[in-house]
Structure 1
Amino acid sequence: MAGGEHDMRAWDDEDPDAHDDDSAPWWFPGEHLPPHARAMGLTHHTPEGALLDFGGRLDPAKRVHYWTAWALLVVFGLPVVFAVMRLAYLF
């Protein structure tokens, strides 16, 4: 075969992006949001959606991700604990 006769329509069967719909690939930002979060209008551009997207990308098998999840739990849970302690002190 000459160089110009090569069939350009022949596709590799191992195409990593083998989806027929028009949805974005899974590695694009915001693809780890749950469907109900998207229905509420959260995207990776909003602060709440960005936190959900970041949390959805954490892999518990990786030790750094595991400790990052615990750190986030402490950072977001500590103000709640302090608010409950303040309420308990007032009553």
Structure 2
Amino acid sequence: MREDEDDDLDAPPIWFAGQHLPPDARRMGLSHHVGEGAILDFAGRLDSAKPVHRITAWVLLLVFGLPVVLSVLRLVAAL
């Protein structure tokens, strides 16, 4: 066992769902059972060393960022 790993033998394995949620999300009550928590858990599992994971991160950024950009453009056009 490496030094940076927890010595807690009662903790669930790292590959179980919900193990990659940030502590702040856990304190807010998010888990992998709700949509926002599932997205955070999924994004937390991405590894930047793998090209497929990088592509997935960019696709997620586009999927969640594009509606915001389009809404801002619509507001600017209405002025």
Q: Distance in 2 between matches of 1:52 and 1:42?
A: 9
Q: Distance in 2 between matches of 1:35 and 1:62?
A: 25
1:58 aligns with 2:11: no
State the TM-score, normalizing by the size of structure 2: 0.87
Q: Distance in 1 between matches of 2:36 and 2:8?
A: 30
Cα 1:20–1:77, aligned 2, differ >3 Å: closer, same or farther? closer
Matched residues, number: 75
Report how far residue 25 of structure 1 moved: 2.0
Question: Which of 1 and 2 has greater Rg?
Answer: 1
For 2:51, the aligned partner's letter is R
Report how far residue 84 of structure 1 moved: 0.2
For 2:19, the aligned partner's letter is E
State the TM-score, normalizing by the size of structure 1: 0.76
**What corresponds to 2:57 in structure 1?**
69
Alignment root-mean-square deviation, CA = 1.7
Report how far residue 53 of structure 1 moved: 0.3
Q: Distance in 1 between matches of 2:44 and 2:50?
A: 14
**What corresponds to 1:36 in structure 2?**
24
1:46 aligns with 2:46: no
Q: Distance in 1 between matches of 2:13 and 2:7?
A: 8
For 2:7, the aligned partner's letter is H
The runs of 5 or more residues in structure 1 that have no matched partner are: 1-12
Report how far residue 20 of structure 1 moved: 3.4
Report how far residue 81 of structure 1 moved: 0.4
The runs of 5 or more residues in structure 2 that have no matched partner are: none
**What corresponds to 1:26 in structure 2?**
14
